[in-house]
Amino acid sequence: MLTREHCLAADASDELAGLRQQFRLPQDVIYLDGNSLGVLPQAAEERSLQVLRAEWGEGLIRSWNTAGWFELPRRLGNKLAGLIGAGSDEVVITDTTSLNIFKALAAAIRIQQQAAPQRKVIVSERDNFPTDLYMIQGMMDLLQQGYEMRLIDDSLPLEQALNEDVAVLLLSHVNYRTGAMHDMAAVTAQARRHGALTIWDLAHAAGAVPVDLNASEADFAVGCTYKYLNGGPGSPAFIWVAARHQDRFWQPLSGWWGHSRPFDMAADYQPAHGIRRFLCGTQPILSMALVECGLDATLQTSMTALREKSLALTDLFIQLVEQRCAHHPLTLITPRNHAQRGSHVSYRHPQGYAVMQALIARGVIGDYREPEVLRFGITPLYLRHVDVWDAVETLRDILDGANWDQPQFQQRHAVT
């Protein structure tokens, strides 16, 4: 039987324990939602004041040059590159994940229109994050050329969905609800054998699990910086394009920031060389500057070390729920197999929404996803083994006492 003392001992010998000091965490909160909104890096407060007072307040328009604002999307993209197996000048930080999906999808479809115009199917997963599916639908509606979306699910496995009609495969590396992870290299190779290009959504993978885009021979990738990368609420996303595709076409959101010489103010669009053409318009500098603080904190360690601790903590969570909450109707929907698990743990419970509200009221912050899913994000940068123990104890207490069964825990908020 595991005890709280075991957890304290594991923390005492944890080589990553010191990283917790990089973040400002509220007292009396166990934060298991870093997969949805990361925490505040200590460095972000000073950096934000510097951007406000010195760069904006004093530097004003000069800061586009003197404070490096103009180069931020690429400079920060190069910092992120090492965490996702990308090369230098292959990633930019910009726009939202949804918008970057649109750009990547458009570029992939253009490549296929030249190479194999009969390919009109975009394959994704029924259980994918909805915005991915919505962006595909919007793209098909815009194209109006007989494009079709095909969704893999229990009745249509990937090997049956892929054939000579498929132009693009768009998948999330780690599923936002279940935490199940695809084998990126194997799936990319499978798609390639069928002539399809791949777009990977790394929203729940970047900073959470080791990713190697170039070794996997992927084509495009997008993802968030406000989740495991601790970039701040709504911080700009990223887009990676394999070097071999970068100069083939330009993306359709051909704004002036993607122009080769934006300050020529020319009437004709001339795309910049390389990844820069995937930018559109003026960037949100205040928010983007803070992305660097989250990246710097992660870069103090390695994805290999983070992965090891993440698996130890998710294993611990699963074991403790088994030991201490066995009589309750909790169904683990996250794979037990390490190779198929991301960095969060999810359970179904018939009263999942109310149980999560009761947990949050007790300071254990996870989140709820339809249908009936309790989701616990495990972020090894700042979580301790003892946090996992205390979180599961609180869950056990709430379930044992049916404390979730109160009217205030049934009330739905706009954001769950």
Ligand X SMILES: *Cc1c(COP(=O)(O)O)cnc(C)c1O
**Which residues carry out catalysis?**
129, 201, 226-227, 375
Minimum gap (Å) between residue 138 Cβ and ligand X: 13
x/- map, 46-85, ligand X, by CB under 6 A = ----------------------------------------
Check the annotation: does 48 bind a ligand.
Answer: no
Q: Does 127 bind ligand X (CB under 6 A)?
A: no
Size of the site for ligand X (CB under 6 A): 13
Q: Does 97 bind ligand X (CB under 6 A)?
A: yes
Distance CA 80, CA 83 (A): 6
Check the annotation: does 129 bind a ligand.
Answer: yes
Q: Does 42 bind ligand X (CB under 6 A)?
A: no
Q: Does 131 bind ligand X (CB under 6 A)?
A: yes
DSSP state of 13: T
Site for ligand X in 185-244 (CB under 6 A): 201, 203-204, 224, 237
Which two three-digit tokens encode residue 173? 């590396």
Q: Is the peptide bond before 26 cis (omega within 30 degrees of 0)?
A: no
Check the annotation: does 282 bind a ligand.
Answer: yes
365 phi, psi to nearest 5 deg: -100, 110
Judged by CB, which is closer to ligand X: 202, or 321? Answer: 202
- How, if at all, do strands 344-348 and 373-377 pair? antiparallel
Q: Residue 171: enclosing H or E segment and its boundaries?
A: strand 166-172
Q: Does 90 bind ligand X (CB under 6 A)?
A: no
Which two three-digit tokens encode residue 221? 């990738």
**Angle separating helix axes 97-115 and 130-143, nearest 10 degrees:** 50
Distance CA 217, CA 228 (A): 24
Q: Does 129 bind ligand X (CB under 6 A)?
A: yes
Minimum gap (Å) between residue 343 Cβ and ligand X: 12
Whose tokens are 């996870």? That residue is 366
Stretch that binds ligand X, among 63-71, 79-87, 90-98, 156-164 (CB under 6 A): 90-98
**Nearest Cα to 170, choosing from 125, 214, 109, 115?**
125
Q: Does 172 bind ligand X (CB under 6 A)?
A: yes
Q: Which of 33, 55, 90, 132 binds ligand X (CB under 6 A)?
A: 132
At 235, which amino acid appears?
Answer: S
Q: Which of 176, 228, 240, 368 binds ligand X (CB under 6 A)?
A: 176
- Determine the number of helices (DSSP H) and then strands (DSSP E) in the chain: 14, 15
Check the annotation: does 343 bind a ligand.
Answer: no
Distance CA 173, CA 28 (A): 33
Give the residue ranges of the annotated binding site for pyridoxal 5'-phosphate: 97-98, 129-132, 201, 204, 226, 256, 282
Give the residues lining the site for ligand X (CB under 6 A).
Answer: 96-98, 129, 131-132, 172, 176, 201, 203-204, 224, 237
